Structure 1
Amino acid sequence: MAELDKVQVDTHSTSRRQILKQLAIGATGVGLMGHSAAIMASDPEPGSKAKNNNPLKGNIHHSVARWTYGDLSISELCQVANELGFSAIDLVGPEDWPTLKQYGIHSSMCNGAELNLTDGWGDKQFHAALIERYHRHIDLVADAGYTNLICFSGNKRGIDPQVGLDNAVQGLQQILPHAEKRGVVLQMELFNSKVDHPDYFADNSAWGIALCKRLGSANFKLLYDIYHMQISEGDIIRTITDNHQYFGHYHTAGVPGRHEIDDSQELFYPAIARAILSTGFSGYLAQEFIPVAESRVAKIESLKRAIQICDV
């Protein structure tokens, strides 16, 4: 996850036909026109599900990261999700949960408790603020009927990784009992420090797994970002197969570039999705690539294709 952009709740009652008319401006090509027509074929009210002409297999629970489609309002993205046949959006905060509920969309990974991506649990100076924020947010997540809440290790700032691990244990132990009581699972995201997040503590699976073992709680997992871990250490399928019990959520994106997960990049996502499925995983696999496509309709087409690639 490169950033956590927040988008205001869209309070306008905009129909799918109106939205797709806007999205289609500037779009060319038979494929995009056909996709627009397919979306415009039905116009359900909020809370209903559109008929999907290409139903998904149902083996993988799909999601999409909200920030990667920031040019769509939250209500527009909900309608796109319904039209493409999946029903979850990642990295949505409390201000947008009412809109998700209107459209029958699940908040598969909640955010908003974190300070930012660099000031995290590995550094004691941030513990007091984080503990207060996470206690409050755990209640918000649970009261809304959700489960997953993201968290971050933060940056080292000269702190030894082992000391950072000890610090994270001490801090997280002060909120985990409350998370366990409320049924909320804290998910720490793994980032690469080579390209995107220099100096980040949890830049490898071993550090994160060690943290899971130290905490020993089913309410603390790792958000295994496939893009980041391919850059950091590779060996994706073996890592997932051997350590799946510590991974509570997955993110996708193409390497290099963090763009579409098609054959323009080095990862073969059908095999990765099958490996995840073979572990018995029942959580969410969320698309978090940044579309290369420029038009809004083409970006939606990219999302549709990514979902199909991972729908094993």
Structure 2
Amino acid sequence: MPRFAANLSMLFTEAPFPERFALAAEAGFRGVEYLFPYPWKPEALKARLEHYNLTQVLFNMPPGNWDAGERGIACLPDRVDEFREGVAEAIRYARILGCDQVNCLAGLMPAGADQEQIWHTLRDNVRWAAGELERAGIRLCLEAINSRVDMPGFVLDTSGKVVDLIRQLDSPNLRLQYDIYHMQIMEGDLIRTLERLGPPAG
């Protein structure tokens, strides 16, 4: 039986963010997610979750400068230290919020970049993050996001790229976060794709 969580970054946007927890609960949701918790103190978010009997099911690791157009920094060779600091911050929030999985945004391919170096950095960062999160009891998800409409240049833009990376790293703590909106744009044929992907899809 499918279980649905309300994405508070995209739903109930007629209300200020702190009020969306109540609206999600009133609509019958028992789980919530949102892009980033970091603008708010984790204790305040935890209080909202507990008050409305909601479970935090997912959020993203720090993405770099989102307002400036960055969409993750996991693939950027000159941002490795910042990426690792972001992993620690995501773990801190996840522990307080009782969230057992977080998503890593791979980032955009910089113009003129050495693609081999970009992929090497991404592999190393994801391997490191998966280990750190596993020790904290938190699953690491990787999401494929379409590069045709929403995020031109996004490095992991197909389910195949994510699954190949997961299989290369061979970590039990990695899962593909399969977003049917993004993958319908990039791949289509969703049912057969999910059947083909098998266990890495989550």
**Which TM bucket (shorter chain)?**
0.7 to 0.9
Is 1:122 the counterpart of 2:75? The answer is yes
Counterpart among 27, 46, 67 of residue 97 in structure 1: 46
Match of residue 159 from structure 2: 205
Counterpart CA distance in 2 for 1:149 and 1:213 is 19
Counterpart among 97, 102, 122 of residue 144 in structure 1: 97
Deviation at 1:72, TM superposition (A): 2.1
Deviation at 1:112, TM superposition (A): 5.1
Match of residue 234 from structure 1: 188
* Structure 1 residues 151 and 68: CA distance shift in structure 2, 3 A: same
* Counterpart residue identity of residue 86, structure 1: F
* Structure 1 residues 150 and 64: CA distance shift in structure 2, 3 A: same
Counterpart of 2:146 in 1: which secondary structure?
Answer: coil
How does the TM-score come out when normalised to structure 2? 0.83
- What whole-Å deviation, never above 9, does each CA across 1:184-242 have from its counterpart, x for those lacking one? 11212211111111111011111111111122222222221111111111121111122
Is 1:64 the counterpart of 2:9? The answer is no
* Counterpart residue identity of residue 177, structure 1: G
Deviation at 1:163, TM superposition (A): 4.3
Matches within 5 A, 1:1-312: 59-69=1-11, 70-74=13-17, 76-91=19-34, 93=37, 94=42, 96-111=45-60, 113-115=62-64, 116=66, 117-157=70-110, 158-159=112-113, 163-248=117-202
Contact 1:63 1:86 in 2 (8 A): yes
Counterpart CA distance in 1 for 2:164 and 2:83 is 21
* Counterpart residue identity of residue 62, structure 1: F
Query: 5+ unaligned residues in a row in structure 2: which ranges?
Result: none
* Counterpart residue identity of residue 144, structure 1: L
Counterpart of 1:175 in 2: which secondary structure?
Answer: helix
Counterpart of 2:121 in 1: which secondary structure?
Answer: helix
Counterpart CA distance in 1 for 2:166 and 2:133 is 15
Aligned CA-pair RMSD: 2.1
Contact 1:139 1:182 in 2 (8 A): no
Contact 1:108 1:148 in 2 (8 A): yes
Contact 1:63 1:90 in 2 (8 A): yes
* Counterpart residue identity of residue 105, structure 2: F
Contact 1:74 1:96 in 2 (8 A): no
Q: Which has the higher contact order (CA 8 A, sep 6+)?
A: 1
Deviation at 1:74, TM superposition (A): 4.2
How does the TM-score come out when normalised to structure 1? 0.56
Count of residue pairs the alignment pairs up:
190
Deviation at 1:160, TM superposition (A): 5.7
Q: Which moved more, 1:200-209 or 1:87-96?
A: 87-96
Counterpart of 1:174 in 2: which secondary structure?
Answer: helix
Contact 2:77 2:117 in 1 (8 A): no
Contact 2:72 2:104 in 1 (8 A): no
* Counterpart residue identity of residue 202, structure 1: L
Counterpart CA distance in 2 for 1:159 and 1:244 is 33
Kindly name which structure, 1 or 2, has the bigger radius of gyration based on alpha carbons: 1
* Structure 1 residues 111 and 98: CA distance shift in structure 2, 3 A: farther
Contact 2:76 2:122 in 1 (8 A): yes
Counterpart CA distance in 2 for 1:195 and 1:152 is 17
- What whole-Å deviation, never above 9, does each CA across 1:8-41 have from its counterpart, x for those lacking one? xxxxxxxxxxxxxxxxxxxxxxxxxxxxxxxxxx
* Structure 1 residues 154 and 219: CA distance shift in structure 2, 3 A: same
* Structure 1 residues 119 and 74: CA distance shift in structure 2, 3 A: closer
